[in-house]
Amino acid sequence: MIFCEGYRVLDNPFFKQLPFTHAKGEILTIYAKKLKLDKILSKGIFILPIGNHFFKVGSTYNWNDLDEKPTEHGKNEIVDKLEKIIGTSFEIISHRAGIRPTVIDRRPILGFHPVFANLGILNGLGTKGVSLAPFFANHFVEFLEDGKPLLPEVDINRFMK
């Protein structure tokens, strides 16, 4: 079993000893008819095309207010940055907030529990999860299926003494 449970990892009795911390992030879904973008753009915020002129845009960072409620401040922060980047009109479709799992050394954690060898983890993608997830999911699959070693900087064993 591989746990990919986001910030709920703090409730996981098998991995609670790992040095996770959390950050709240807010994102917008927008509609921008004139925005021509087919790849993720990262420029202080990310703009992720999701099809038919819709985009996910974010994100904010808050290490103190750890609830999942969107804020006007968060929305305004994203809108201000977005307007400086795209130079075209857009409509806000939705505004959401969530909690990201981050790790003290700012690197994801992949691997298997040192005692319960059938319990794995892929977590801690943090503030760059939208861009890191495809790479590290593939990296973990190569480890599982092909026996390729995990990169030392993401291997769970870096925290196992």
Average pLDDT, the chain: 93
Structure confidence by residue, pLDDT tens digits, 63-96: 898 899 999 999 999 999 999 999 899 999 999 9
- Domain 22-102 class? alpha beta
Region 152-161: what's the mean pLDDT? 92
DSSP characters over 70-116: --HHHHHHHHHHHHHHH-S--EEEEEEEEEEEEETTS--EEEE-SS-
Torsion sign, CA atoms 78, 41, 9, 22? negative
pLDDT of residue 128: 75
State both tokens at 114: 């040192």
pLDDT score recorded for residue 88:
93
What pLDDT does residue 107 have? 93
Helix (H, G, I), strand (E, B) or coil at 67: coil
pLDDT at position 95 is 98
pLDDT digits (tens, 9 = 90+) for 19-72: 998 889 999 999 999 999 999 888 889 999 999 999 999 989 898 988 999 999
pLDDT on residue 94: 98
Domain ranges of the chain: 2-19+104-159, 22-102
Q: Residue 131: what pLDDT? A: 78
Residue 129 clears pLDDT 80, i.e. is over it: no
Q: Is 56 helix (H, G, I), strand (E, B) or coil?
A: strand
